Amino acid sequence: MAAPAASIQDHDRTCLDTLQLQRLEDAFRTWYETSTRREVRLSRERIYLIFLLIRYTGAKLNEVLNLNPYQDFDPSRHIIRFCSGDTGENAAGREVRIPEVLSDTLAALLADPPLREALNHSLAIDPGFVRRKFYERTKAIGLPPRQGGPEMIRKARAVELLLDRMPLPAVQAFLGHSTPTPTSSYVSFSAEELQQVTRYHVEREFSRKTSACNAFFGKISAIRKDDIQAIIEIATVSGMAIHSIITHGSLQQLDLAIGHLVRAEVKAPWVVLARDEPRCTAENRFCGRIERISTGTINSEFSLRLEDGTELCAIVGSGGSEPLGLQEGDRAWAFFSCYAVILHVD
């Protein structure tokens, strides 16, 4: 299953964006914290808890309502376990990683004795009531009520992760979809390895400590050595091939071998854009469509959506971007040298 750029853009127009989701989260928190009557506060706190779970796990409403928060939430591992008892693809359930800061928030809410007593180990509540409260809070901040429904928040979470460059198969696994990995037959990704991809992205959402950087997750599919250096070929989660050159010393230090999971990073200024397929020696070259252009006085940032749904960021000097003549929606090529690819292992 692929997610073309147009599909992501269409959802982006109908779903709440990250800033709107934050406004809605703030509205829910204020709504419950300012209530003075005990029974009203407890009712609102339960709705706020349900909102947080849908907003950050992308789970379906019925999945959240079937949770036993004191059994299915693991604060030490920052994991929510969804085991709804459904038959079919979700019968075995799944584990969803959440950010540590959210894990702390949930733990504090669930430790409240009155809430623990009121929940009685279950979030079960009338789904229609939950939807009405979601619509009310969304309308209260001046947004179309239907955009704040549980199903739309689930979609918004998926779009948010895709725009944050999480690979599509990892997003599918995060949401509980069936995820046939579209990589080469000799490369497969386990649920645990997709969890590592998810962990990196959900924690990065709350830190944002790095400069603009493109991250690709994958397994080493080939290692070709010469006297001094080695070419590492990586099959990514979304099915692309990334090449990196490292020294034999780095190869030994990182303990790299075929089948090992790695993260390849390329800084945005090292990505070169071209209107036509480049005739050069760069080993990494990909075709896509320009999704966004942010122009500054010094640099311009181009967001290129590749054919597999991956977003690639390139930073070009504002003067140098003019001769390219690229506009949003244009087809373009991005390429970078294997020397520009830095490898990381956990």
Q: What is the CATH number of the domain that holds 30?
A: 1.10.443.10
Query: Which of the listed residues 163, 194, 221 is the one where a domain comes to its end?
Result: 163
Together in a domain, 326 and 241: yes
Within-domain flag for 331: yes
Together in a domain, 113 and 260: no
pLDDT tens, residue by residue, 4-37: 444 445 444 578 888 899 999 999 999 999 988 9
Instruction: Report the chain's mean pLDDT, rounded to a whole number.
Output: 82
8 Å CB contact between 242 and 286: no
pLDDT tens, residue by residue, 36-49: 898 899 999 999 99
Within-domain flag for 185: no
pLDDT-derived band at 322 (thresholds 50, 70, 90) equals low
Could you give the CA distance from residue 23 to residue 240 in angstroms, rounded to a whole number?
36
Please give the order of strands across the beta sheet that includes 241-247: 241-247, 229-236, 213-225, 261-267, 342-344
Together in a domain, 16 and 152: yes
Higher pLDDT, 107 or 204: 107
CA-based nearest residue to 334, from 344, 323, 326: 326
71-80, 97-106, 172-181, range with the lowest pLDDT:
172-181
Within-domain flag for 204: no
Query: Which of the listed residues 163, 198, 227 is the one where a domain comes to its end?
Result: 163
The tokens describing 70, both together, are 């004191």
Please give the order of strands across the beta sheet that includes 73-74: 73-74, 79-82, 94-97
pLDDT tens, residue by residue, 204-221: 665 544 454 788 888 899
Could you give the CA distance from residue 189 to residue 87 in angstroms, rounded to a whole number?
24
* Statement: residue 177 has pLDDT above 80: no
Measured at the CA of 338, the angle between CA 195 and CA 192, to 5 degrees, comes to 10
pLDDT at 146: 92
Within-domain flag for 261: yes
Together in a domain, 274 and 336: yes
- On the 0-12 / 13-18 / 19+ scale of CB atoms within 10 A, 297 is exposed
8 Å CB contact between 311 and 305: yes
Together in a domain, 35 and 103: yes
pLDDT at 290: 92
The tokens describing 172, both together, are 């599918």
pLDDT at 289: 92
pLDDT at 4: 43
pLDDT tens, residue by residue, 229-262: 999 999 887 778 999 999 988 898 888 999 888 8
Within-domain flag for 44: yes
Together in a domain, 159 and 286: no
* Statement: residue 95 has pLDDT above 50: yes
Range of the domain at 151: 5-163
Within-domain flag for 180: no
pLDDT at 306: 85
Together in a domain, 140 and 218: no
When pLDDT is averaged across residues 294-323 and rounded to a whole number, the result is: 81
pLDDT at 87: 44
Within-domain flag for 179: no
Together in a domain, 235 and 293: yes
Cα–Cα distances (Å) from 108 to 28, 33, 82, 112, 157, in that order, read 16, 14, 20, 7, 23
Structural domain total, the chain: 2
* Statement: residue 191 has pLDDT above 50: yes
When pLDDT is averaged across residues 132-151 and rounded to a whole number, the result is: 95
Within-domain flag for 173: no
Together in a domain, 57 and 131: yes
pLDDT tens, residue by residue, 261-296: 888 889 889 999 998 888 888 889 999 999 889 888
Together in a domain, 109 and 244: no
Q: Domain of 321: which CATH number?
A: 2.40.50.100
Together in a domain, 131 and 227: no
Query: Which of the listed residues 163, 180, 204 is the one where a domain comes to its end?
Result: 163
Q: Report pTM.
A: 0.60
